[in-house]
Structures are given as C-alpha cells and as structure tokens.
Chain A
Amino acid sequence: MLIGHFTEQPWQDDKSGLMGTQSTDLSISNGLYDPNVGAHLYNRYLDEKVYAEEMGFDALMLNEHHSTPFCMQGVTNVGASILARITKKAKIIILGNVLPIWDDPLWLAEQLAMIDMISRGRLVSGFVRGGGRESFAHNSPPHYNRERFQEAHDFLIKAWTTPGPWRWEGKHYHYRYVNPWARPLQQPHPPIWIPSTVSVETVKWTAEHRYPLVLLATKLEPTRDAFQLYHDTAEELGYKSGSQNVAYLWKVHVDETEEKAEEVGRKYLSGVSNPFLAGNEGEVNSAIMSLPGHTSRTSRRLSTTAFGPAGRFGTNRRPFEDQVNDNTIITGTPKSVLPKIRSVLEYLRPGSVFFWDGDGAMSHEDQMRSLRLMGEEVLPAVREMGKELELFSPFEVDPSTGEKVIQADSLVP
C-alpha cells in the first residue's frame, strides 16, 4: 500500500474577504492577489510537504489549477521540481499536468525528465484533460481537448522512449526536431497515473492503457462503480487488474482530541478561497464548466447515468455532517479515524490512498499537528491494514501485468 499527502494549497488572506463567490467563474481579479501573502503560503506548503515525508508519507501529491484562489499552484512542475531536490524518499506524484493546454509538449517532456532525474527517479507523471476552467484560462480549444490529450500523451511517450532526432507532424503538434537533451531516469519512462472524477471515457481509456486510476474525492459508491468499470474493462481486454490499478484521494484529518478534530475538520469547508463551502461557491458558470465540445454530449449523458449528477464540486459542497456521515471527510483522533479508514479500504480496495488535509481554512499549525499524529499513529496502522487486506500499490504489483515488482531501490541513494 502507498499512502500519500495532498492539499490544494488554498489561498488564505483574511484581508481579501470571501473569494469563493467568484472563484469558479474566473471573474475574480488578481488585483486582489498580495504577493507577500503568496510568498509566505508557497513556502508554508513546501515546508508541510517536507514534514509529511519526514512523518513517513510514501508520496507527495501535487496538482494544478488556473486563475483560481482555491488552488495556488498554477504550475505543478515548479512544486515538483523543488520537492525533487529538497525531499529524499517520497514519490512525487503529479496529478496531473493538463496536457491539452500545452501548446509545446516537448517542453513538458524536458521538464518532467529533469524532475525525474533530480529526484533520482521518484516522479509519477499524471496527466489530465483538465476542466473547462483550465481550457478557458489558457485558451486551449475545448473541442480538441480529448484529441490534444491523446496526441500529447503519445508524443510524450515517444519523446521519452525513442532516441532522436526525429520529426513529429501530427494534427495538433508539429516538430521538425525532437531530440531533448534530457531523458527520464526511470526506464522506459516515469509511471503514468490518471486522475479522474467520474468520466466513463477516461476510466476506460485508463484501463486500456493499464495505467493506475486515481479517483479524486468522489463519493464512495460512484468511486466503487468507477473502479468496477476499470476492472471490467481490464477483464474485457484480457488482463487482471487489482488494487494496484486503483487509488483514492479523500479528506482525512487527525487531531489531538475529538473536539479539536471536529473544529478543525470543519475548516475543510471554510476559508476565503474555498469553493466547496455552501454560500461561498457563488454561481457556477455553467458555460465555462461545459465549454462546447469539451466533453462529448453522449459522454456527459453516460456519466450522469453511471455516476449521478453530483460531480466533484457537488460532492465536496455538501454539509460537513453529510460528508462525515459517508466518510468523504474523516476527522478525529488517531484512534477514532482508523476504523473509518479501514471501512473505506475494505469498500474500495485501493492500493494507493491520498489523505487530503491542510485545506480550506486550516492553519499551518493544524496541518503540522495532523501530520505528526499521522506519522506517529495512523500511517503505521494503515500500512498494517494494507498488508492484511492485501492492498498493493503499483510499486509492489505491476498494474499492467499483475506481477510482483522487484524494487529498484538502487535509484535512490
């Protein structure tokens, strides 16, 4: 089992007032952005990641969003580059780079190869299509989102695995000279994981490529449905998938007392930049959330049928009590969170999990306390559960073959 840490890296500035009212609309002006606050927060979130590794997390998960205060990291590769140098053992899991918004994926191939080398082979390179927000913010053609994802993916794999120079004359990308002077340390290339919310097309594509699928804070039942769809697709394709093929991210916070845990847990749903807070999310701009052609109209209908209308925002915006009741938020003392974590592991059988913590209005102290308690009491116990339930990460069992992996520890000095 692999256990990772995640935070959206929320903007926190008490002087700016509630920002969530506009954060999904891409209409909030960055005139409100105070770079002094930004400088403090970026360093804080890096410190927390370093401490998470120290406390025993196997993986540090990073993401990016654009032009929104709920996630400060617009360039996930910057965070990953720094962690590559200042951490030692933890996997650096980018979930993920938004392929369709890259007009120059060769540059991305170079960046990721550098991160892989500097981290001595600890990079996991996730790829996403991104939401309407990302296409909108970087002016990427929404109607070609899937095509560009596919072509950039194929290009990156070739750029990492086929010695240059060679040419690429595709539909969306064109190069006369592909010969990057940087190649990934992990061979043939860094592992690729695919995060998703509830897209049927993405789940199937991921299973077809035998990449691990990471479900992001979805409710448990649709998550299990998505995992089942993955396993069924794998079976149709003639390979046996298992826990190594599926991963789950959800909100887990631990604290010193139950009272404190509830008080801080409620901060998941507050904070100036938090779009998940009821009353703070404003009016979702449905035009941007469903840009023309971004998702095929048949696919939209399919996913509604398969997973219900509540996507990620719907799931996360529900009242605190509802989320606690169905374990999409687990907050408590180490003793009280463990049985709940176990029930999620038993229900979903993921080989990798990410605890989403330190978000919303949580302070640095809140996060550091939780990380310490996780390291002391939660992570060792969850690891034991993983063994008992036979949950294996992609670093233990190869997701493409189901064979045991021989650990390549020699990559890490």
Chain B
Amino acid sequence: MSHASTAWAMETVHLAGADLKLIKGGSGEPLLILHDEMGHPGWLRFHELLAQNFTLYIPHHPGFGESPPLEWVMNMRDLAGWYLEALDDLGLGPINVLGSSIGGWLAAEMATMCPTQFKNLVLLAATGVKPPEGEIFDIYQVVAKSYLEASVLNRTQTPEFSDVCPDDPSPELLDAWDSAREGACLLSWRPYMHYPNLPFLLSRLKNLRTLIIWGRDDAIVPLSAGELYHSSIPGSELVVLDRCGHRPDIEKSSEVAEIINGFIGT
C-alpha cells in the first residue's frame, strides 16, 4: 500500500555490469534498505517513517522482482561481493544499511567483506547464522502465503499485514512472490538460510556501529540467532521487541523506526 505523503520513484540503474531496479524516496542522508526473501513489499508505513530522516535506497536484488538475475551468482557471498561493487558504482561512499531477514544476511556478509563501506548497520530479524537453539522455519516447505502468515505474531493486530499479504493475492503478486522465492532459493537452499562460518567472520565488524532488532516471538528465525549475531559482533546492540514476530517492519513500525532513527542519529 502506498502512503503518498513522500514521493518515491523507481529507476533502472546500471551498476557493476548489471541493470538494477532501484527505488528512491525521502530526504536526508542515504539509508540502503535490503529487502527480504519475499522481495520489496511496496512502500509501507515503515518506509514512510524512515523517509522523514533519510533518503531511502531500496534496490530489488538481482533475480528478485523486476531486477534480472546474475547468472553466475551461486550463493550469498557471491551476491554480497557483487553488491559491494554496485555500491562503489553508486558512488555514495560509506552509507547506512538496514537489512531484513535474508537482506540482513546480505548486509552482514557485505560488512564482513568491507566494514568501512557502512556507517551504521541495522539487522532486522536476519537470517545468515545457524540458531544455537531452534531452527529457521523452512519457507520452501510451504507456499508463499502460508510463510507470510507464519511470519507475524498476530495478523489481526497487524493492520498492514493485509497489504503485504491480501486474502486473495492478485496473479501479479503471486508471480512476484514466485520470482522472489526463486531468487532467495538460489542463495539459501543449502546450508539452509545460513553460512556456517559467518559467526567467525563477524568480529571484523568491531568498528562498525551495529544494531540488531528482533521480535521475541519470531517464528521464522529464532531469537537465539539474534543473540549469536550480538555475541559475534563486538560492541553491537541488541533490541528485543516483546509481542512481535518476524516482521518488526509491519508489526512494530513506529517503534522500530524510532529505534533506528535514534541509533543512526546519535
């Protein structure tokens, strides 16, 4: 659902040898938003709130949504390497980055390769590490709609859920979900949704300000994964939200936007 108060636009940019669909909107210093495994969900209240303080850069990852795939990419570290060159070409210098779920994993991988690329890192219920307790929900064992339904703690108390996941999804939306799942599957089939050695590499983020946000009731990526990110990244901050599932962006949009504004702004 669009909140029309802030203008945003999608453009095609040619970065690192590939065409990328990039959404831009808001004002202030740049904030790169890396979307999750279901693709960019549209301009939500969360984006609207962040756009008051930041210029949002929201790319459709290659192979997701409207960005064509990069045929050579076989795993998340490949994609992270490519994205770093894409950021070089974008020419914004060190920027803030926020990644959700699989987008958080992507951000973490990029940061381990080049921590100086980022001013602040925000991980929102990120996949990427093997949870010490519990397992990451197998999104490929259920259809897209069932996955989205499992991702929030309480659908009826999450007004924007019906925008992200209508009862009767249009053929276009179903197609977009299919496309996103193909893109995500390539990056996450096995080992499922994580890179076993990522925790060992995360200590390189010791000089990067890192905020980790997690819903206490996340049924997709257990909180123990958030705690592992926290213990693996020296100096990182972990914020756990009560009564919140895997989608803090729609379940607690105001609270999360405020936390992010506060963290990056300080």
Contacts of B47 in A (CB 8 A): none
Q: Could you tell me the dominant secondary structure of chain B's interface residues? A: helix
A286 to B143, CA, bound (A): 7
Residues of A92-146 whose CB lies within 8 A of B = 136, 139, 141-143
Residue A15, interface by CB 8 Å: no
Q: Do B184 and A292 touch across chains, with their CB atoms under 8 A apart? A: yes
Q: Do A142 and B141 touch across chains, with their CB atoms under 8 A apart? A: no
A143 to B181, CA, bound (A): 10
Residue of chain A at shortest CB distance from B181: A292
Residue B201, interface by CB 8 Å: no
Q: Do A292 and B182 touch across chains, with their CB atoms under 8 A apart? A: yes
Q: Do A142 and B142 touch across chains, with their CB atoms under 8 A apart? A: no
Residue A40, interface by CB 8 Å: no
Residue of chain A at shortest CB distance from B144: A287
Question: Residue among A139, A143, A285, A286 with the most chain B CB within 10 A?
Answer: A143
Segment from B3-11, B112-120, B150-158, B185-193 that makes contact with A:
B185-193
A142 to B182, CA, bound (A): 9
Q: Do A292 and B178 touch across chains, with their CB atoms under 8 A apart? A: yes
Residues of A61-92 whose CB lies within 8 A of B = none
What are the interface flags for A290-316 relative to B under an 8 Å C-beta threshold, 1 for contact and 0 otherwise? Answer: 011100010000000000000000000
Q: Do B185 and A287 touch across chains, with their CB atoms under 8 A apart? A: no
Q: Do B141 and A139 touch across chains, with their CB atoms under 8 A apart? A: no
Q: Do B190 and A139 touch across chains, with their CB atoms under 8 A apart? A: yes
Contacts of A285 in B (CB 8 A): 141-142
A366 to B64, CA, bound (A): 53
A136 to B185, CA, bound (A): 12
Evaluate whether A143 and B143 lie within 8 angstroms (CB atoms) in the complex, with A292-B181, A292-B182 already known.
Answer: no
Q: Do B190 and A292 touch across chains, with their CB atoms under 8 A apart? A: no
Contacts of B186 in A (CB 8 A): 141, 143, 293
Report, as a range, how many residues of chain A touch the other chain. Answer: 10 to 19
A287's contact among B143, B175, B179, B189, by CB below 8 Å, is which? B143
A287 to B139, CA, bound (A): 9
Residues of A318-372 whose CB lies within 8 A of B = none
Q: Do A297 and B178 touch across chains, with their CB atoms under 8 A apart? A: yes
Contacts of B178 in A (CB 8 A): 292, 297
A293 to B179, CA, bound (A): 9
Residue A373, interface by CB 8 Å: no
Residue A288, interface by CB 8 Å: yes
Q: How far does the Cβ of B160 sit from chain A's closest Cβ, in whole Å?
A: 24
Q: Do A142 and B189 touch across chains, with their CB atoms under 8 A apart? A: yes
Contacts of A143 in B (CB 8 A): 182, 185-186, 189
Q: Do B140 and A292 touch across chains, with their CB atoms under 8 A apart? A: yes
Contacts of A287 in B (CB 8 A): 140-143, 146
Evaluate whether A293 and B143 lie within 8 angstroms (CB atoms) in the complex, with A139-B190, A141-B190 already known.
Answer: no
Contacts of A141 in B (CB 8 A): 185-186, 189-190
Evaluate whether A288 and B141 lie within 8 angstroms (CB atoms) in the complex, with A143-B182, A293-B182, A297-B178 already known.
Answer: yes
How many chain B residues touch A (Cβ–Cβ < 8 Å)? 15
A288 to B141, CA, bound (A): 6
Q: How far does the Cβ of B77 sit from chain A's closest Cβ, in whole Å?
A: 16
Contacts of B146 in A (CB 8 A): 287
A141 to B182, CA, bound (A): 11
Q: How far does the Cβ of B136 sit from chain A's closest Cβ, in whole Å?
A: 14
A143 to B74, CA, bound (A): 10
A293 to B71, CA, bound (A): 13
Contacts of B182 in A (CB 8 A): 143, 292-293
A96 to B189, CA, bound (A): 25
Contacts of B175 in A (CB 8 A): 297
Q: Do A292 and B185 touch across chains, with their CB atoms under 8 A apart? A: yes
Residues of A371-396 whose CB lies within 8 A of B = none
Residues of A151-198 whose CB lies within 8 A of B = none
Question: Residue among B175, B178, B179, B182 with the most chain A CB within 10 A?
Answer: B182
A287 to B142, CA, bound (A): 5
A62 to B53, CA, bound (A): 65
Residue of chain A at shortest CB distance from B189: A141
A296 to B45, CA, bound (A): 34
A143 to B179, CA, bound (A): 12
Q: Do B185 and A291 touch across chains, with their CB atoms under 8 A apart? A: yes
A98 to B186, CA, bound (A): 20
A288 to B143, CA, bound (A): 8
Q: How far does the Cβ of B143 sit from chain A's closest Cβ, in whole Å?
A: 5
Contacts of B140 in A (CB 8 A): 136, 142, 287-288, 291-292
Q: How far does the Cβ of A245 sit from chain B's closest Cβ, in whole Å?
A: 33
A297 to B182, CA, bound (A): 10
A139 to B192, CA, bound (A): 10
Q: How far does the Cβ of A171 sit from chain B's closest Cβ, in whole Å?
A: 8
A142 to B111, CA, bound (A): 29
Residue of chain A at shortest CB distance from B187: A143
A297 to B171, CA, bound (A): 13
Q: Do B190 and A293 touch across chains, with their CB atoms under 8 A apart? A: no
A142 to B184, CA, bound (A): 12
Q: How far does the Cβ of B23 sit from chain A's closest Cβ, in whole Å?
A: 23
A285 to B146, CA, bound (A): 12
Residue of chain B at shortest CB distance from A25: B141
Q: How far does the Cβ of A143 sit from chain B's closest Cβ, in whole Å?
A: 5
Q: Do B142 and A293 touch across chains, with their CB atoms under 8 A apart? A: no
Contacts of B179 in A (CB 8 A): 297
Residue of chain B at shortest CB distance from A286: B143
Interface residues of B, Cβ cutoff 8 Å to A: 140-143, 146, 175, 178-179, 181-182, 184-186, 189-190
Some 14 contacts from A to B, beta carbons below 8 A apart, are: A136-B141, A139-B189, A141-B185, A141-B189, A142-B140, A142-B189, A143-B185, A287-B140, A287-B141, A287-B143, A288-B141, A292-B181, A297-B175, A297-B179
Interface residues of A, Cβ cutoff 8 Å to B: 136, 139, 141-143, 285-288, 291-293, 297
8 cross-chain pairs, A with B, having the tightest CB-CB distances, nearest first: A292-B185, A292-B181, A292-B182, A293-B182, A141-B189, A287-B143, A287-B142, A143-B186
Known: A287-B142, A293-B185, A293-B186. 11 other contacts (CB 8 A): A136-B140, A141-B189, A142-B185, A143-B182, A143-B189, A285-B141, A285-B142, A287-B143, A287-B146, A292-B185, A293-B182
